[in-house]
Amino acid sequence: MKRREFVGTAMSAGIGLWAGSKQAPGWKRLSSIPTTQSPDSRIEVLIEEPIGTIAPEIYGHFAEHLGGVIYDGIWVGENSKIPNIGGIRKSLVEAMRKIRPAVIRWPGGCFADSYNWRDGIGPKTQRARHTNFWRDASEWPKDAPDGPWKYETNQFGTDDFLRFCRLVGAQPYLAANLRSLSAKDFYEWVEYCNSPAGTTTLADIRAANGDREPAKVRFWGVGNEAWGCGGNFTPEEYAAEYRRFTSWVPGYGVNLAFIGSGPNGGDLDWTRRFFVKLSERRALGRVWGWGLHHYSWNVTGGRTNDWQQGKGDAVNYRDEEWYELLSEGERIESSITNHWTVMGESDPEHRVKLVVDEWGAWYKPGAEANNTHLLGQQSTMRDAMLAGQMLDTFHRHADKVAMANIAQLINCLQSLFLAHENKFVVTPTFHVFEMYANHQAGQSVRTIFSAPRSSYTRNGQPATLRGLSGSASLHDHVLVLTITNPDLRQMRETEIAVRGAKVKAVKAITLSADDIHAHNTFESPNVIEPRDTRTTLTNSAVVYSCHPASVTRLDITLV
Ligand code: AHR
């Protein structure tokens, strides 16, 4: 069947068709999965229609001084019995190396706007102790003890973070304090990190602290959530602060990339007014990236929009909550395109790119691995689906999205790792990052998915979500195609055609679970793991069965 014929059939059969916009998902036990004899879905990869290079920085992470992320997560201390590399958890370093983390954002989040980088350098015994931004959060478990997660001890500071980045092969992205420090403190932090050895007092202090050579930090966040915890500014006020902070910052030969604090959710007005204000003063050239935060949290099917009431349980969820969470994730696509359009009003050449520097699932408290892990939560197959969907969306908009950072690395929100004392485990989200890493630096190409939409009941009413979705990238003669099937019950027999090339060989790896609530624990760390799966290749046409609630990667070798 030719593309046009298939499109016609798909439309009349009510099949969802899209090439980078809208759609969604569902679960079931393997034993009773209905299978189809002939393909009901189709994917067409148009290798001659490039979208853009997939920035490796899309595979970015975020580590904030929040609950168990730093203390108990990354930092265990040099004198700990827990295996460590200069105080940094060794198992974490080893696991991170497997996923090629391109960049890590630190030290916050909201914490960043209360942080003084000077407190975190120099001899550890002399470091200042301060009240952590998150100390009074309502989400703390009742029995949470005091400790560095409430009273910051600054044992993990700039030099430790930069060392962590070097150990795992990631670039640092430092978020500066705009709410409670000055522009001078900001450029002096740049000076501390980047000024050449022996040239400034701060370079000498850095050398005395162990790093003679400059770190050449490129990515700098100018505040965080400036509309909220970052200062409660209006866009115009923030624009004025942004201009002041970036008017003079020494470069030292580094092509500094400043990232502005974007809107609260989908607030286009914030983006428009900031861009207009900066353009008026011809200062838009000082914005490299525009931050978007996108949390998937409301699983109530529209029953409430309350930030606390709208959240669901991380592990025990109903089918409806599976679909609703994924549909929250889907909204990132319109957020990207809408903000992009608004940015284009002031920046028609689209020099400024989008940086989704916080994204992930956010559930209600109760599934944390330890009572010191504020906002800690388990990660199930649902989170793996969300991760696949989000990364695929970023690839489909590779011309717009220059970086993305999942929130957060360990022991918090949608984490790739959970750790407590000497226990450590990787989550299903980690596996998706490992599977998808092959996309990095590839050429994203237009890909058309034609599949039935997934049906479910939303607040008593029939609803649907996009069926299969995914993305494809070209790496010389290898095409990497990733596919998510969010449907809880339907196996999708899928025909895959590569337009403009012949297929020589294909390999598939998939992540799925008999029970969608399944997750890895310290006691049972291998419940969810990717496995090789079977594909059929006949005369350059690939047929693949997408398991319900699964994430798949196909490596397709082209002639
Ligand atoms: O990731 C947790 C918090 O969520 C961050 O500190 C803040 O930027 C956002 O609101």
- For the CA atoms of 266, 269, 274, 279, what is the dihedral angle to 10 degrees? 120
Ligand 1 atom at minimum distance from 108 CA: 6
CB 58 within 8 A of CB 403: yes
* pLDDT score at 544: 96
| pLDDT-based confidence at residue 3 (cuts at 50, 70, 90) | very low
Ligand 1 pocket test: pick from 61, 62, 64, 179 the residue with the most ligand atoms within 8 Å of its Cβ: 64
Ligand 1 atom at minimum distance from 225 CA: 8
* pLDDT score at 129: 97
| pLDDT-based confidence at residue 539 (cuts at 50, 70, 90) | confident
Distance 111 CA to ligand 1 centre (A): 8
pLDDT at 28 over 80: no
Given the residues 225, 320, 328, 434, the one annotated as active site: 225
Residue pLDDT, tens place only, 212-258: 999 999 999 999 999 999 999 999 999 999 999 999 999 999 999 99
CB 193 within 8 A of CB 158: yes
Looking at residue 141, the DSSP 8-state letter turns out to be -
Ligand 1 site, residue 110, Cβ cutoff 6 A = yes
Distance 151 CA to ligand 1 centre (A): 18
- Percent of the chain at pLDDT exceeding 70: 93
Mean pLDDT (whole number) for 181-190: 98
Lowest mean pLDDT among 324-328, 447-451, 532-536: 532-536
| pLDDT-based confidence at residue 48 (cuts at 50, 70, 90) | very high
Average per-residue pLDDT for the chain:
93
CB 25 within 8 A of CB 479: no
List, in sequence order, every residue forming a beta bridge with 57; answer none if it has no partner. none
Mean pLDDT (whole number) for 476-483: 97
Distance 110 CA to ligand 1 centre (A): 6
pLDDT at 554 over 50: yes
Question: Which tokens is 151 given?
Answer: 């009273």
Which residue puts its alpha carbon closest to atom 4 of ligand 1?
109
* pLDDT score at 7: 31
Ligand 1 site, residue 108, Cβ cutoff 6 A = yes
pLDDT at 360 over 60: yes
- Name the H helices within 415-461: 428-436
* pLDDT score at 173: 99
Given the residues 320, 333, 358, 368, the one annotated as active site: 358
Ligand 1 atom at minimum distance from 230 CA: 8
d(CA 379, CA 556): 30
Ligand 1 atom at minimum distance from 408 CA: 1
| pLDDT-based confidence at residue 541 (cuts at 50, 70, 90) | confident
Query: What is the residue-wise DSSP string for 385-424?
Result: HHHHHHHHHHHHTTTTEEEEEEE-SBSSSS-SEEEETTEE
* pLDDT score at 23: 28
Distance 413 CA to ligand 1 centre (A): 10
Q: Which of 17, 40, 44 is nearest to 491 (CA)?
A: 40
Ligand 1 site, residue 67, Cβ cutoff 6 A = no
Ligand 1 site, residue 109, Cβ cutoff 6 A = yes
* pLDDT score at 84: 98
**Length of the chain counted residue by residue:** 559
Question: Which tokens is 513 given?
Answer: 């679970």
Catalytic site includes residue 241? no
Lowest mean pLDDT among 85-94, 271-280, 296-305, 532-541: 532-541
Ligand 1 site, residue 225, Cβ cutoff 6 A = yes
Question: Which tokens is 32 given?
Answer: 């009773």
Residue pLDDT, tens place only, 382-422: 999 999 999 999 999 999 999 999 999 999 999 999 999 99
Q: Which of 265, 195, 189, 192 is nearest to 220 (CA)?
A: 189
Q: Which of 500, 242, 512 is nearest to 384 (CA)?
A: 512
SS3 content of the chain, % helix, strand, coil (to 5): 25, 30, 45
| pLDDT-based confidence at residue 499 (cuts at 50, 70, 90) | very high
| pLDDT-based confidence at residue 22 (cuts at 50, 70, 90) | very low
Which residue puts its alpha carbon closest to atom 9 of ligand 1?
109
Question: Which tokens is 475 given?
Answer: 């790496």
* pLDDT score at 37: 56
* pLDDT score at 26: 29
* pLDDT score at 353: 98
Ligand 1 site, residue 383, Cβ cutoff 6 A = no
Q: Give the 3-state secondary structure of 266-282.
A: CCHHHHHHHHHHHHHCC
Ligand 1 site, residue 224, Cβ cutoff 6 A = yes
Question: Which tokens is 350 given?
Answer: 């689209």
Q: Which of 239, 234, 231, 226 is nearest to 346 (CA)?
A: 239
- Report which of residues 509 and 27 the model is more confident about: 509
Neighbours of 318 (CB within 10 A): 13
Residue pLDDT, tens place only, 69-126: 999 999 999 999 999 999 999 999 999 999 999 999 999 999 999 999 999 999 999 9
d(CA 172, CA 162): 7
Residue pLDDT, tens place only, 411-428: 999 999 999 999 999 999
